[in-house]
Amino acid sequence: MAVSGGPDSLALLHLLAERASDRQLRLGIAHLDHGLREESVRDVDFVRHLAARLGLILYTERVDVRALQRRWRLPLEAAGRQARYRFFQETADRHGFNKVALAHHADDNAETLLLNLLRGSGRLGLGGMPPMRGGRFIRPLIRADRADIMDYLHRRNLSALTDSTNADNGFLRNRIRNQLIPLLERDYQPGVRAVLQRSAEVLREEEEWIESHVQPILDQAVIARQPGRLTLRACALRGLASALQRRVVRAGLRLVQLNLHRIAFTHVEAILDLVHGASDGGPLDLPEHVRVWRRGDSLTIALGNTGSAGDSPISDCADYSYRMESYGVLTVTETGDSIALTAIEPNMAADPAGAGPLTAYLDGAAVEFPIMIRNVRPGDRFSPFGVEGTQKVKKFFIDHKVPRDQRRRCPLLLSQGRILWVAGYRIDHHARLNRRTRQVLKAELILANR
């Protein structure tokens, strides 16, 4: 089982150890050191002594999560979570364990529901964490609350580690746990944790029922299916209700990608723009090396750089200019590229250095709608982040060896005449996040034919 040394995993470990003989369980302890805190060495020692006292084998590993964050282009918390699950999966496979027990509990589920609600998640996210995930990961404590766990530890005189980052309200989840839920409990709904947990269970069960009805609809739309590639009839999607179209697209992406990591609402909407377009479109380059394009009535979702016949870069792009009055998604007809704009809180912005070139986090104070989306014009200048003074966009392209056929198609985001982002390459110095940032504009470039 996964053991951090905190109260939740310590309680679950002792519960399983007490029942191992009667239930004929073979237990092992897996502990991942993220290398983020000075006390992580203390944590490893604590878990090592715990394993020795219980007579269990300890499997441990240290990773550089910040390096993984940059490599995977994920927020720090998401990179840590992905590293943990990968370590647990590999450890279980290598040493012959058929289940990985996680110590998530009812309060975690309540926090997850609120977290996903604030992020604009659909029903799937509001369903929280299931008792079992993928047939391998199990959560035996998912219906126990934090008070139950602390009472169990107190009655058995067990002392757990304290993670100092749990008190850091710079993380949104911590603010939900330490500020929002106590406020809701005190001023709005006593026992709100139990209410949220119950709501998550109901939503999850309903989501499972809905998904069982989506699969047959997806099957009816399939033209061809093979590993890493799926082709659907666009007309079959257009005849569905909008909500069902999104679900079928997500089901198709999951079938090809095997998960929905980093797939956001904006990506699904961009695919549906292809479905409803008057002519051929794409390909769109999505996260995790997924490509989507439409030719005639065939919508293809594929892994890797496989494109359809005739896909080629647009080398001579005409002038274009578009106006965005508010947040949303805009597709540049001349190139097929799309720009997605979202307002988020500062704590939800990833480390800008690790966000990847297709995502920009801009200081909301530097942004005023309407925002212009256009390609480069003679004389365009901006202040590249990290460089003193201003520079012509043309010189920036030359210095950074941007191919000629890509310079004319590259979108520029402008507010009040100032270039905020040379999309895919560099933000303007004046649009950078800073200590006074109170609102963040998240801009994403969804590529086509690149």
* Rounded-to-integer distance, Cα 441 and Cα 369, Å: 11
Non-local (6+) Cβ contacts of 352 within 8 A are 360, 361, 427, 432, 433
Query: What is the percent of the chain with per-residue pLDDT over 70, rounded to a whole number?
Result: 93
* Rounded-to-integer distance, Cα 244 and Cα 253, Å: 14
Mean residue pLDDT across the chain:
86
What is the reported pLDDT for 309?
37
* Rounded-to-integer distance, Cα 375 and Cα 397, Å: 13
What is the reported pLDDT for 307?
44
At 314, is the pLDDT very low, low, confident or very high (cuts 50, 70, 90)? very low
At 73, is the pLDDT very low, low, confident or very high (cuts 50, 70, 90)? low
At 160, is the pLDDT very low, low, confident or very high (cuts 50, 70, 90)? very high
Per DSSP, which regions of 140-188 are E strands? none
What is the reported pLDDT for 196?
92
Per-residue CA distances from 394 to 46, 339, 375, 376, 404 (Å): 57, 21, 11, 8, 10
Do residues 293 and 325 share a domain?
Answer: no
Q: In this structure, is residue 206 part of a structural domain?
A: no
* Residue 353, pLDDT above cutoff 90: no
Per DSSP, which regions of 234-288 are E strands? 281-286
Do residues 64 and 174 share a domain?
Answer: yes
Per-residue pLDDT tens digits for 8-49: 999 999 999 999 988 889 999 999 998 887 778 889 999 999
Q: What is the mean pLDDT of residues 123-150?
A: 87
End residue of a domain, out of 311, 336, 361: 311
First CA to last CA across the chain, in angstroms?
Answer: 43
Do residues 42 and 143 share a domain?
Answer: yes
3-state secondary structure of 400: coil
Per-residue pLDDT tens digits for 242-301: 999 999 999 999 888 877 777 878 889 999 999 998 888 888 888 777 889 998 889 999
Contact call for residues 132 and 7 (beta carbons, < 8 A): no
Do residues 240 and 190 share a domain?
Answer: no
Question: Please, where are the H alpha helices in 120-171?
Answer: 123-126, 146-155
Query: What is the percent of the chain with per-residue pLDDT over 90, rounded to a whole number?
Result: 46
Per-residue CA distances from 377 to 224, 246, 392 (Å): 44, 37, 10
As beta bridge partners, residue 292 has: 284, 301
Q: Which domain holds residue 149?
A: 7-195
End residue of a domain, out of 138, 173, 195: 195
End residue of a domain, out of 311, 331, 366: 311
Say which residue the tokens 């040493």 belong to.
95
As beta bridge partners, residue 2 has: 30
And the tokens for 422?
Answer: 């040379």
Do residues 290 and 365 share a domain?
Answer: no
Do residues 273 and 333 share a domain?
Answer: no
What is the reported pLDDT for 308?
45
Per-residue CA distances from 25 to 9, 17, 152, 269, 285 (Å): 17, 8, 21, 46, 45
Q: In this structure, is residue 277 part of a structural domain?
A: yes
Do residues 33 and 166 share a domain?
Answer: yes
What is the number of residues in the chain?
450
What is the reported pLDDT for 428?
94
What is the reported pLDDT for 47?
94
Do residues 142 and 55 share a domain?
Answer: yes
Q: In this structure, is residue 395 part of a structural domain?
A: yes
Per-residue CA distances from 295 to 273, 275, 292, 309 (Å): 13, 10, 10, 10
Contact call for residues 392 and 381 (beta carbons, < 8 A): yes
Say which residue the tokens 């110095």 belong to.
429
Find, among 280, 252, 287, 366, the residue nearest to 82 by Cα: 287
Q: In this structure, is residue 22 part of a structural domain?
A: yes
CATH (domain of 289): 3.30.465.60
CATH (domain of 367): 3.50.40.10
* Residue 55, pLDDT above cutoff 50: yes
Do residues 360 and 411 share a domain?
Answer: yes
Number of domains in the chain: 3
Q: In this structure, is residue 182 part of a structural domain?
A: yes
Q: In this structure, is residue 201 part of a structural domain?
A: no
Per-residue pLDDT tens digits for 358-376: 889 999 999 999 999 999 9
Do residues 135 and 262 share a domain?
Answer: no
In degrees and rounded to multiples of 5, residue 77 shows phi and psi of -60, -40
Say which residue the tokens 């994920």 belong to.
74
Q: In this structure, is residue 385 part of a structural domain?
A: yes
User: Peptide bond preceding 370: is omega within 30 degrees of 0, i.e. cis?
Assistant: yes
